[in-house]
Amino acid sequence: MIQFQSLKSNLAKSRIVDTLSKSCKDGEILVRIESFAFTSNNITYGVAGKTLGYWNFFPVAGDSFDQWGCIPVWGFAEVIESNCDDINNGERLFGYFPPADYLTLSPIRISNHNFADGTEHRRELPAVYNNYVRLAEEQDYDASFTDAMRALLFPLHITAFCLCDWLADESYLGASQIIVVSASSKTAIGLAQGLAESKDAPKIVGLTSRKNLEFVKNLGCYDEVVTYDELQKVDCSQGSVMVDMAGSREILGTLHRELGDNMLKCLTVGMTHWDNATTAEDALGQAMLREKTEFFFAPAHIQKRIGEWGHDAYAKKTNAFMAKRAIQSKDWMQIIEINGLDQFIPIYEEMVGGNINPNEGIIVNLNNG
């Protein structure tokens, strides 16, 4: 058994560790992880690993000093050993996994369609991450296309759905424009596409790097696209809501300062520019309007809506949103497949450094024989 680990204090450093085989006890299942997606969203999991508990999902092997962690990933696995009466050998699952080749789960709250992992250390963690979908119960499932899109887009576009829903529920806070930072990220694209479908949404402004300018423009979901080196082109006289996917001190400090009272809210979602973590140690950091800034935690919004709408209504709304985004992604996303964790290392390093093309979706296939 092997496990891909990241150094918590410096995500750019990684290692592959051999782990001991785990026994499958009564009530447990052993799954072989087939493949997983890796996006900037996973980098956010690493950056917020301690703050939001992402390091706690999958304890690492060979780390007595608590220096290393497993960045969680979304992917697929096959049940290869079951000591749980309601789960069959050979079943395929979709859900939250470590970047490793095997995992032991303790299914609870089992239905025909899904179950939760009841492993002791995961019981207090957000429920959305502990849910596993039983794919055999899904009608007309096309693994050849759906698997990659699902792994890549499900967690990102669920967040995009939650953002669209929250903004609409708040009547966009009366804003004249929504400013999306890191407009080329997949979550940002899902958000902009969702907003563009709403007749009530304000103007959508995407901020991106110069190298990604044409890509973002060609998506057709932003009303205006501005590059980071021309932030003066943003109309700061308008009431604005910022949705920040980047966590860049330079961008946030500059815009907060220029917008002033016209910044109604800044929702921080991701930290793709993790090396520029926001601080208050310089003029730009001090310019940030922290009283108007909050971290948007999608799992909390999901639980709120499930409580208000019920599981079926929530699933119907999110499935419709996801289906539209998956169809639109065919026009712009190129799936890049990597075979094995060894081959994943250089790609991982590039992604931590922010050097992956926005139109690429990385899928890691694990050749377990």
HEC readout, the chain: CEEEEEECCEEEEEEEEECCCCCCCCCCEEEEEEEEEECHHHHHHHHCCCCCCHHHCCCCCCCCCCCEECCCEEEEEEEEEECCCCCCCCCEEEEEECCECEEEECEECCCCCEEEECCHHHCCCCHHHHEEEEHHHCCCCCHHHHHHHHHHHHHHHHHHHHHHHHHHHCHHHHCCEEEEECCCCHHHHHHHHHHHCCCCCCEEEEEECHHHHHHHHHHCCCCEEEEHHHHHHCCCCCCEEEEECCCCHHHHHHHHHHHHHHEEEEEECCCCCHHHCCCCCCHHHHHCCHHHEEECCHHHHHHHHHHHHCHHHHHHHHHHHHHHHHHHHCCCCEEEEEECHHHHHHHHHHHHCCCCCCCEEEEEECCCC
Q: Tell me the pLDDT tens digit for each residue of 271-307.
A: 544 444 444 444 444 445 567 888 898 888 999 999 9
What's the pLDDT at 216? 96
- pLDDT value at position 272? 45
152 versus 127: the higher-pLDDT residue is 152
- CA–CA separation, 337 vs 37, rounded Å? 9
Give the rounded percent of residues in the chain with a pLDDT score beyond 70: 91
For residue range 244-263, list pLDDT tens digits in order. Answer: 987 777 888 899 999 999 99
Note whether 314 and 305 are within 8 A (CB): yes
Mean per-residue pLDDT for 211-219?
95
Query: 34-83, pLDDT tens digit by residue?
Result: 999 999 889 989 988 888 889 999 999 888 899 999 999 999 999 999 99
Residue 289 has a pLDDT of 55
The domains located in the chain, with CATH, are 2-141+333-365 (3.90.180.10), 156-299 (3.40.50.720)
Q: Are 205 and 223 spatial neighbours (Cβ–Cβ below 8 Å)? A: yes
Q: Given this model, what pLDDT does residue 287 score?
A: 46
- Average pLDDT of the chain? 89
Asked whether residue 213 carries a pLDDT value surpassing 80, the answer given is yes
pLDDT in tens, 348-358: 999 998 887 88
The predicted model gives 108-134 an average pLDDT of 92
pLDDT at 233 over 50: yes
What per-residue confidence (pLDDT) applies to 62? 83
